[in-house]
Structure 1
């Protein structure tokens, strides 16, 4: 499999804009969690007491994101409803003097007009999902958060990417090392020069065979991209798995704009996988002072 190699980086062609937008692709069916996801969106699966989609939105807000676009599928209106005002619930909490719960709900509320949704009618890949948000993205830089990748970080992973974008003025993706035997499940970078936690991206390939992978540095579900990627996605070129791969269009930005991978600080949990989801329950409970003693006691029972 050929992978794309960059020519020397050129000056970023557009004026650097503040990062204020995020796209959340949430159209998947969640078949690995059936029957739980027969009626419920997989992004509504809770970790301790918050759904996955809530964690993603809160992470983005911590990075200064103000506008959100959910790329949804059929039967996923509950994802938008999660961030709507629940008047009946708030009235009931008020009547029962549940001030703590009421304050929590109101603190999580988003300003009116902060969320829009668009529909991905066919499962044609992540690249196609991002293309579906093209009107929302416009000419602005934007973050992408895949809620299946749940992040446990002292500093929001998206905030780490936003800070790197402010430093470099170009595309930044969160990266982590995986065993070479697993690279065929990821987008993989061909690394260039390293400066601190930033790694220059010289090339990208989606799901390479182990023997063809340029490294074991893989892209996870957090990105900050420039709007020019939409022009490449618009060509609807199919890649690995017969899908429109975001990685392929990102690779075409290399050499025309700054492009870096960020070795983020924190832990990722693959909540699209049952084992990863269960591990996330344990890790997030242990990270909370109100839940850690109970979780430690539970773990001892089964040790």
Structure 2
């Protein structure tokens, strides 16, 4: 495969949003977990905003039953907008929820067979193009004045091509909870060659403390790997296994994200993200600090 073919522009992104969100029951019994708000924006909106900042045009949602609210969030709410306009209220707050016609596509993952299977469900839409993947549970917040995670990754992709994953450093005692990379040559302060991937290693066996953090840029060949892949850990088709098989076949790098990550798949991570972002808002920060002091006594 030519080097040029491994540097095609990244214009498509897959969002696997078919999960049941059982850790947030009963809140997620009728509402998709991706629609739970971090202050006043649903979790999925943060990921979509990050994708758009990176120049991604086509959004591919891999959904399941009961997930229609995600798609409706990005549709035009005619009655709401008409009512707001009649009352002379600004529609600016709704701008981020508007998707260019034809740029949002959904496919169904009828059976929960793992992240790798969810990505494979989007194969016909991805076609022969490289694509990004966003795990919305991983809320990635850029440093003040800095670029978002995917924009940082696209910049690295434009330079190196191939496949990239975002990583973050964690304390060594935490590595057993995550997928970890085996690092090769350090290309720059932010970019490292990947020579292997290990899922939830024991602390003493971990090849590094760089964990995979929910953002990917992959070449379309991963779909062919996923198609013939047997189930791995947990009896599911694992994306990590497919990526590991591509290492050595195509360039593979990790981009250390200059920013913060919140694990919004957990209740504590969700609360931390809400509090952290509220403290930084000019319209909320002062009151939230005062509220926190009152609650802490």
Q: TM-score range by the shorter chain?
A: over 0.9
1:172 pairs, out of 164, 177, 194, with: 164
1:112 pairs, out of 101, 106, 125, with: 101
Tell me the residue number matched to 1:5: none
2:291 pairs, out of 277, 295, 298, with: 298
Task: Choose between structure 1 and 2 for higher RCO, CA contacts under 8 A separated by at least 6 residues.
Answer: 1
The structural deviation recorded for 1:16 is 2.0
- Aligned-residue Cα RMSD (Å) equals 1.5
Tell me the residue number matched to 1:235: 228
> TM-score normalised to the size of structure 2?
0.95
Structure 2 SS opposite 1:285: helix
> TM-score normalised to the size of structure 1?
0.93
The 2-side partners of 1:133 and 1:238 are apart by 18
Task: Indicate yes or no: 2:119 matched with 1:126.
Answer: no
Q: Which moved more, 1:18-27 or 1:179-188?
A: 179-188
Instruction: State how 1:202-241 maps to structure 2 within 5 Å.
Output: 202-241=195-234
Tell me the residue number matched to 2:50: 59
Q: Quickly say closer, same or farther: Cα 1:78–1:107, change in 2 above 3 A.
A: closer
Unmatched 5+ stretches in structure 1: 1-9
- Post-superposition CA distance 1:17-60 (Å, at most 9, x none): 11100000001111110010000000000001000011110010
- Post-superposition CA distance 1:88-139 (Å, at most 9, x none): 000000111112xx12213541110111111111111111110011011111
Tell me the residue number matched to 1:141: 130
Structure 1 SS opposite 2:291: helix
The 1-side partners of 2:287 and 2:3 are apart by 51
The 2-side partners of 1:267 and 1:103 are apart by 27
The structural deviation recorded for 1:12 is 4.2
Q: Quickly say closer, same or farther: Cα 1:107–1:267, change in 2 above 3 A.
A: closer
Unmatched 5+ stretches in structure 2: none
Tell me the residue number matched to 1:199: 192
Q: Which moved more, 1:209-218 or 1:34-43?
A: 209-218
The 2-side partners of 1:197 and 1:64 are apart by 20
Q: Which moved more, 1:182-191 or 1:223-232?
A: 182-191
The structural deviation recorded for 1:212 is 2.7
Q: Are the counterparts in 1 of residues 60 and 106 from structure 2 also a CA contact under 8 Å?
A: yes
The 1-side partners of 2:243 and 2:4 are apart by 16
Aligned length: 292
Q: Are the counterparts in 2 of residues 45 and 52 from structure 1 also a CA contact under 8 Å?
A: yes
Task: Indicate yes or no: 2:26 matched with 1:35.
Answer: yes
- Post-superposition CA distance 1:72-96 (Å, at most 9, x none): 1101011111000000000000111
The ranges of structure 1 where at least 4 consecutive aligned residues each deviate by more than 6 angstroms after the TM superposition are none
The 2-side partners of 1:84 and 1:261 are apart by 35
